[in-house]
Amino acid sequence: MKKIILTGGGTAGHVTPNLALIPELRHRGYEIHYIGSHDGIEKMLVKETGVPFYGISSGKLRRYFDIKNFTDPIRIVKGFREARKIIRDIEPDVLFSKGGFVTVPVVMAAKRKKVPVVIHESDITSGLANRLSLPSAARICVNFPETLENLPQEKAVLTGSPIRKELFQGNRIKGLDYCGFTANMPVILVIGGSLGSAFINEMVRSILPDLLKNFQVIHLCGKDKVDGSLSGKTGYVQFEYVQKELCNLLNMAELVISRAGANAICELAALKKPNVLIPLSKNASRGDQIKNAESFEKQGFSYVIQEDALTGPKLLEAVKHVYENRSVYKEKMFASEQQNAVMKVTDVIDSVIKEIENSENTGYL
């Protein structure tokens, strides 16, 4: 039986693509293991899948002064030693890394043990953790065509992002019932994101009377951001967040207003959801969302409004434009090469193992 170790953590975006691969990896006969941090979100998420989880020490590599800069290198070295022992015990055929700082010592340990590494990069430009890991990679799976230009041609593969199977299993009727909506008006889903959602919330609520003339609105506001004065308003529902019901809400949405995190927008593209993107500004991020959004706009998947240019009237105009041209946006997404990412990424993993086996058989390794 082939063995694989998955690694990734720190945020859900570094974990959920790994989880999306698990059913297909099992189908192809892989024995699956997962390495993450002791207390990261990945521990809880992986536990639900039944995949064995191994926690290691991890530290963040910062480019700014912080007192933890003096202690985290020690944690990283410890994590490397722990990962090396786990890899030695499991003897995997391949390691798949989704990113996050916990993956750096794992990738380095895999390289030391001569285990081939496949990396997935979500954003157009790599974060620091993946930049440190890229030289150790046999293959690099990417979401955006632009990313290919900055990577070795023989290593980089355009796959898109693995999407959880359950997102494709939404039920429109269940979603309508959950929200108390009618079936004869289109639905907009607003996803503010955990960072910076207050500004999007404010803009959406400023044009709510106009939106509700033609749409019903589901508003995922973020923690503690529900506006009680709007509760019970016909055609408008608010949630801090949803989990189990998200697939149903996405299924019934004709249009989505969202931030531009790589995994989130790749899910929208996979589900063929016309969208308006409002990327986080450079004041709140390293600018990766801006580049992600620009790529999706260039490919014809999205309508983009930069945060510093966002006003209520501009958002209303964008919604009107995208809804009226929704068939065009869908056609572009259907034609994209960034589809069936679970199969493509798993094919890459298989191909790396076969290359190693062929090299061993021919004596060239």
Domains of the chain: 2-161+339-362 (3.40.50.2000), 166-334 (3.40.50.2000)
Q: Are 313 and 210 in contact (CB under 8 A)?
A: no
Spatial separation of the C-alpha atoms in residues 42 and 100, rounded to whole Å: 11
More confident residue, 100 or 235: 235
Mean pLDDT of 345-364: 86
Whether 186 has a pLDDT exceeding 50, the answer reads yes
Residue 188: enclosing H or E segment and its boundaries? strand 187-191
**Cα 168-174-175 angle, rounded to 5 deg:** 75
**Concatenated DSSP letters for 278-312?**
-PPPTTTSSSHHHHHHHHHHHTTSEEE--GGG--H
Strand, helix or coil for residue 145: helix
pLDDT in tens, 93-144: 999 999 888 999 999 999 999 999 999 998 888 878 888 899 999 999 999 9
Among residues 17, 23, 15, 45, which one has the least CA distance to residue 270?
17
More confident residue, 183 or 41: 183
Q: Are 18 and 34 in contact (CB under 8 A)?
A: yes
Name, in order, each residue with C-beta under 8 angstroms of 148's C-beta and a sequence gap of 6 or more.
142, 156, 158
Whether 307 has a pLDDT exceeding 70, the answer reads yes
List 54's β-bridge partners, or say none.
Answer: 35
Q: Are 138 and 117 in contact (CB under 8 A)?
A: yes
361: its two tokens: 């058989």
Spatial separation of the C-alpha atoms in residues 164 and 198, rounded to whole Å: 27
Among 110-114, 197-201, 291-295, the minimum mean pLDDT is found in: 197-201
80: its two tokens: 């490397």
Spatial separation of the C-alpha atoms in residues 222 and 239, rounded to whole Å: 8
Mean pLDDT of 33-42: 93
